[in-house]
Chains A and B, each alone.
Chain A
């Protein structure tokens, strides 16, 4: 018996209008990601990795094709429903951390809950997550007081607060030194893949990609799959 993929893209195309001809960034991409899978997405700069990530996470709509997350078609959803999907099913970790500089670390972690419930609640859960990433003692700090590694650990805690089915990480170690990068990646794996969640990670680093269950490579708008080495 074959289980259904958590995340599925079918013949997805994305093009942008430019002053000259339309720019085709993704060309009929098809991809399945299973629940609990760790997928590494690779490709050169400008190959469309972030565009694919934003389509899979429901941040943007494809020009054509179908995308499903947890059995729900994203390409036909309204803006409001896409926001609901992001709140309930998706977590994000960015290369530049993107913590809100005017909110404390604790509030940053609470932020996805705040958008889901309309209030800054779930402090206990936020505390638990911050303790798991070793940042509870920094909970009342503003992000400006944290190191790069600490910022990314806070971002991981934030990505997990809504118990998402899938976490998307866009070059999460790109701004970190190797030691901090490894620590962040360990944490990310521990709290996603090892906890039964799906992790889709964009990276240039072959060492990081090697840790994934599966690697795909974007080139000229098309996807090539690499067998695990």
Chain B
């Protein structure tokens, strides 16, 4: 090690030793900022690793094909002749009603009718321990524990499903074919495929998911087989997938959720970075005379820069080590907060590569945030040692803007490296920058207005507190912004949760349907009206099918505009037909619902699809339903008001095209909750194929999902708040010397201890109050925007809990500020005011 390097290292160590508080705050800011990123990377990695390790079991086969029964029969028949040694299984999954024979209790169940051999990989373990298929025989069912507990049933009891009475033969203890039971709307019931056919539950057009499972022979080429199966099944836009090439839906869901959470982690990283930069600035300010002395003694600037780089780099590494521990704690917390949303049997260790990558991003970000404070070193003149009265260096706007540009660009590259998606990384960095600019604007406006108001006040504590906001060395703007941003995240989430719960889950418009009935056969329309007591209820034809092409361009080639996430044109749709406008709809383009100038069949389309997929009026849309192709011209676009809570359809066909296609009917009714069990019983007796969906069950599941996710977000938000608190500490400590001097001066000029304390507390209250007020402004705006854009709801302020939360946070900030700075009020005045 050469002398230059050794001296700079010694200088860095000396700075750390003599000013350990700033070093501690710097390292901790890096640690907190990086830990959430590492925790999310760890959780994402561990879920991916687990799901990958269990991929075969989760898919239950080498290849799965979803589509209509006709196509599956064709693919199976073709595959049997094409390859030898294949194994097959089938399943049909649907929501249905079941009735306990003895108690006449009726309820919804998630029915899985499976052929012998299912699952081809993994297994379903029964409560008794007997092999699944030795138990699941025609005439019997194997049910989820939830059904036994919820309905108070016992093995041996009889369930009426469709036209059959089936005995409960056993319970499901564990199954490897679904990663989590979280999304299960109702208890699972396994039955044999042959029983399903005999139950008369299924008719052409019934809402069900048909799957064919294929295992290839040992030594066969899976990729090649998969390609051929896809080619065979492509005519029906059937979904063909394999454990080797596709991720299960749950992994996509978790990864997408974690990707959204990455925004919060980047926010925390930013706040941590600002905190680290503040701690470095404070350390530099405190050490300005030492630096000046070195320059006065002829030390080259490179030596000083190097010393501070050692300081920052060394402490950043310490911070990363702390982040490793913190990320384990936060990661474990996140895993427990995700709870049963995640697949069971998660692997215990976080992937090292994911952690290292996140740590690298944290280190890079720490370096970027060090740039601006380090540049100030060049502003320190050798005469800093001689006087306190060195004139300030004029701001160098171009240099600052240049460094900020480099920092933002570098941060984008780091975000890209972390998320692997440049567009999303760009959006996140742009959103973060926007949030900081808008938040900074709000905070600046609030502080500026307050300063103007308080400056006119004659009261001594008020005027001094107002002026104290501009105390040299403090970073009130940055502190208020950081605290405001982290409180905004928590408040936005709170308001979203409360509004969604109160407006969508708890309260229901009295006349809005709360129960939906699906799988009604057209021949059962009259009977359904009579049994339900609603003979005039509007029954909507429901035809399940897929869009094949627009103007002969296959939908697979039509790219979605804007964000890559979201609705797809290739998915299965529920089509309907009719003459008049649906209760949810308003025509926003076109002469009316139908256009008399257009020849042939017509279809009215959801207006969003115009923007998302570039569909225009007059375009020809081809759909395929149960193997048959239909084509219609787009006559109009409709806006759909989802708050009306009536059945809605994205593709609404003019009568004359789809009447002959096998379909079912559906409707929604507003029913008193206490009449539902009786109606379910009567329907189970007379129309057993009709499935009843109680929206309160769906709402409860949605509420549980939102609640579970909001706990995760809240935990990350609190980590962001911790970064804000560290920044507050850095700022308070950075301005502690000037506060101590000011306090001593006030006392020398005749202020009592109580007056001085009153000024300080008022100043802290203004900072904390402004932070809370800014959080309220930003949080309300963000919540109102999200509620309006995503959920079409209006924001309701929950003033009491909101005030309690923000007031409590402000009070905690005041207490913390007081605790950190109370030494300033105890220092003997002359000690603080003496020149040396």
Contact = CB atoms under 8 A, between A and B. Distances in A.
B750 A162 contact: yes
Contact of B750 (A87, A98, A175): A87
Interface stretch (A67-75, A108-116, A130-138): A108-116
Contact of B387 (A102, A170, A175): A175
A120 B454 CA distance: 12
Contact of A100 (B458, B467, B830, B834): B467
Interface residues of B, number: 36
A92 B746 CA distance: 11
A170 B470 CA distance: 27
A83 B835 contact: no
Contact of A83 (B459, B751, B828): B751
Interface of B: 387-389, 392, 458-460, 463-464, 467-472, 738, 741-742, 745-755, 828-830, 833-836
Interface centre among B392, B464, B748, B750 (most CB of A within 10 A): B750
A115 B749 contact: yes
Contact of A53 (B464, B742, B828, B830): B830
Interface in A111-130: 111-112, 114-121
Interface of A: 45, 50-51, 53-54, 57, 59-60, 79-80, 83-84, 86-88, 90, 92, 94-96, 98, 100-103, 107, 111-112, 114-121, 144, 148, 158, 162, 170-171, 174-175
8 contacts: A54-B829, A59-B830, A80-B752, A80-B753, A83-B755, A92-B749, A102-B471, A171-B835
Contacts of A79: 752-753
Contacts of B742: 100
B835 A115 contact: no
Given A80-B754, A107-B467, A115-B460, 8 more contacts: A53-B830, A54-B830, A101-B472, A102-B470, A107-B463, A112-B749, A115-B752, A175-B387
Interface centre among B828, B834, B836 (most CB of A within 10 A): B834
A96 B458 CA distance: 27
B745 A100 contact: yes
A90 B631 CA distance: 97
Rank and list the top 5 A-B pairs by shortest CB-CB distance, nearest first: A87-B750, A54-B830, A102-B467, A114-B460, A83-B752
Contacts of A174: 835
A118 B389 contact: no
Nearest to B753: A79
A116 B752 CA distance: 9
A95 B830 CA distance: 12
Interface centre among A95, A107, A111, A117 (most CB of B within 10 A): A111
Given A83-B752, A115-B750, A98 B460 contact: no
B752 A118 contact: no
Contacts of B751: 83, 115
Contacts of A53: 830
A103 B389 CA distance: 17
B753 to A, nearest CB: 6
Given A59-B747, A115-B746, A144 B830 contact: no
Given A54-B829, A101-B472, A118-B460, A92 B748 contact: yes
Given A59-B830, A98-B833, A115-B755, A103 B467 contact: yes
B741 A116 contact: no
A102 B520 CA distance: 77
A144 B471 CA distance: 12
A59 B828 contact: yes
B749 A86 contact: yes
Interface centre among B460, B468, B471, B753 (most CB of A within 10 A): B460
Contacts of A116: 750
Nearest to A121: B458
Contact of A120 (B458, B472, B749, B829): B458
B459 A119 contact: yes
Contacts of A119: 458-460
Contacts of A115: 460, 746, 749-752, 755
Contacts of B753: 79-80, 83
